[in-house]
Amino acid sequence: MNRTSHDLIAVPEIKERIVNFNFMALFGAVVFLFFALDFYIPVLPFYVIDTGGGESAVGLLMGLFTLCSVVLRPFQGRNLNQRGRKRLLITGIALYAVSGMALMILPPLSLVFIFRAIQGLGWGAFLLAYNTLTLDLAPAGRRGEALGLMGIAPPLSLAAAPVISEQIRIATDSNYLLLFFIASVAALLALFSGLLVKEPSFKKGGEKIAQGEKAAQAVTVKKAPLLSRNVFFPSLIIFFMTFTLGSILTFLPLLGETRDIQAVGYFFTIFALTTVFSRPAAGRLSDRLGRSRVFLPGLLIASAALIMIALAYSAEQLLISAFILGLGFGASHSSVMAMAADKLSIMERGVGMATFTAAFDLGIVAGSSTLGILLNWFDFKAVFMLCALVMLFPVLLYAIRNQMRPAN
């Protein structure tokens, strides 16, 4: 991406080094807060049912959390340059942690909805802040690699947290006080790690931005758009990708029960561990070969894995599909996010990352809700075949986009 002398550039303390104290502090915050989130996966549904809710209440609670995480994100992105990345990071983690500690009073269902809504607001702020900070800390020529390395944190948590919480829940006969306490401790550790993060300095034309420019930035913020057109295409790609991810997270346990496959928990572990290795490798490759040469094959691989899930009737088949899906999804995610980052200047990153991460979350909601309706008329095989087709939509869009470029 070409820059003029008036462009803003982030200046990390060590320009060409990715992994340093700042990066690891942010990595720690991401690992711990994702652990706090994933720890709830096998816990909250049972708590909702035990407090008088049904399966519909479980679905509503998940939808409310995601909706609240998205609703303010465009406004937060527009104000990110003025307010600061670290401030939003700490605010988001603190909201999540405090609301999580409130669950330790073992509230009635109505209050659970309120506390989870507040957690959703905090989660949305955290997602936007940590993704933008990752870009700020990355050397310009190694964004894909930096995003891939930071992308290790979420699957690490997904591989461990649900298994641990499920075992504790079973061993303690659903001791929810203990379970919510552990999740709260993880959130507090994320807060401590986040406080150690130092926001990188910015330069404009070789000189540091003066504090007096804050007023000018505030005026610009009010006129800035809520969404970024520059990242529309990468956001569309990630929407279709997470459309299928939402269906897996929501309906794979039901598929396993229907087909008597006792390996769904291990599916998520293998999927997560595979993405731990595929994301940084794919990010590094996309820096060298180009984004499309990595994410397009990744989408094809992920689509093949979804076909395997649709046809899986044994644990072995399901676990092999988890490995292949981890390879494809991990490779695509890192390179598509790096593609979005390539299109953003420093001052556009807040709005750009707000747009991109909102598309990520909206895809999950759209996938789980749409396919939930379709399951009233179709079986799991048809639904996951449809997911495989949806995963290929970005490939078609990319081909159409390339065909239109010469004419424009």
Q: Is the pLDDT of residue 14 over 60?
A: no
Give CA angle at 345 (276, 238), nearest 5°: 40
Instruction: Give pLDDT, residue 94.
Output: 97
131, 142, 288, 381 from 138: Cα distances, Å = 11, 6, 15, 42
Q: Is 4 exposed, middle or buried (0-12, 13-18, 19+ CB in 10 A)?
A: exposed
Instruction: Give pLDDT, residue 121.
Output: 93
Alpha-carbon span 189 to 32, nearest angstrom:
6
Return the top range by mean pLDDT from 5-19, 20-34, 266-280, 323-337: 20-34
Q: Is the pLDDT of residue 51 over 80?
A: yes
Average pLDDT over residues 184-206: 82
User: pTM of the predicted model, to two decimals?
Assistant: 0.75
Question: Is residue 123 very low, low, confident or very high in pLDDT (cuts 50, 70, 90)?
Answer: very high
Place of tokens 């990390």: 12
CATH superfamily of 225-408: MFS general substrate transporter like domains (1.20.1250.20)
Count CB-CB contacts under 10 A for residue 153: 22
Are 10-201 and 225-408 in the same CATH fold?
yes
Question: Which range, of 96-105, 248-257, 385-394, averages the lowest pLDDT?
Answer: 248-257
Q: Which of residues 189 and 219 earns the better pLDDT score?
A: 189
Q: Which of residues 226 and 41 earns the better pLDDT score?
A: 41
Alpha-carbon span 358 to 362, nearest angstrom:
6
Q: Which helix (H) or strand (E) holds 208?
A: strand 207-208
Instruction: Give pLDDT, residue 223.
Output: 56
Spatial CB neighbours of 63, under 8 Å, sequence gap ≥ 6: 365, 369
173 phi and psi angles, rounded to 5 deg: 55, 50
Q: Is the pLDDT of residue 207 over 60?
A: no
Instruction: Give pLDDT, residue 81.
Output: 67
Return the top range by mean pLDDT from 91-95, 267-271, 372-376: 91-95
Average pLDDT over residues 317-338: 89
Q: Is the pLDDT of residue 30 over 90?
A: yes
Each residue's pLDDT tens digit, 337-393: 888 878 777 777 778 878 888 888 888 878 877 777 787 788 889 989 999 999 999
Whether the CB-CB separation of 11 and 205 falls below 8 Å is answered with no
| Fold classified for 10-201 | Growth Hormone; Chain: A; (1.20.1250)
Task: Give domain limits for the chain.
Answer: 10-201, 225-408
Instruction: Give pLDDT, residue 280.
Output: 80
Q: Which of residues 56 and 75 earns the better pLDDT score?
A: 75
Instruction: Give pLDDT, residue 33.
Output: 96
Average pLDDT over residues 61-67: 82
Spatial CB neighbours of 201, under 8 Å, sequence gap ≥ 6: 10, 11, 208
Instruction: Give pLDDT, residue 55.
Output: 63
Strand 8-11 to 207-208 pairing? unpaired
The secondary structure of residue 228, as a DSSP letter, is -
Question: Is residue 135 very low, low, confident or very high in pLDDT (cuts 50, 70, 90)?
Answer: confident
Strand 207-208 to 201-204 pairing? antiparallel
Whether the CB-CB separation of 328 and 305 falls below 8 Å is answered with yes
Alpha-carbon span 334 to 346, nearest angstrom:
19
Q: Which helix (H) or strand (E) holds 8?
A: strand 8-11
Amino acid, res. 252: L
Q: What does the mean pLDDT of the chain come to? A: 81
Instruction: Give pLDDT, residue 406.
Output: 56
Question: Is residue 181 very low, low, confident or very high in pLDDT (cuts 50, 70, 90)?
Answer: very high
Question: Which range, of 47-51, 247-251, 359-363, averages the lowest pLDDT?
Answer: 247-251
Instruction: Give pLDDT, residue 118.
Output: 95
Q: How much of the chain exceeds pLDDT 90, in percent?
A: 29
Of the candidates 198, 191, 189, the residue with the CA atom closest to the CA atom of residue 84: 198
Instruction: Give pLDDT, residue 74.
Output: 79
Each residue's pLDDT tens digit, 233-245: 888 999 999 888 8
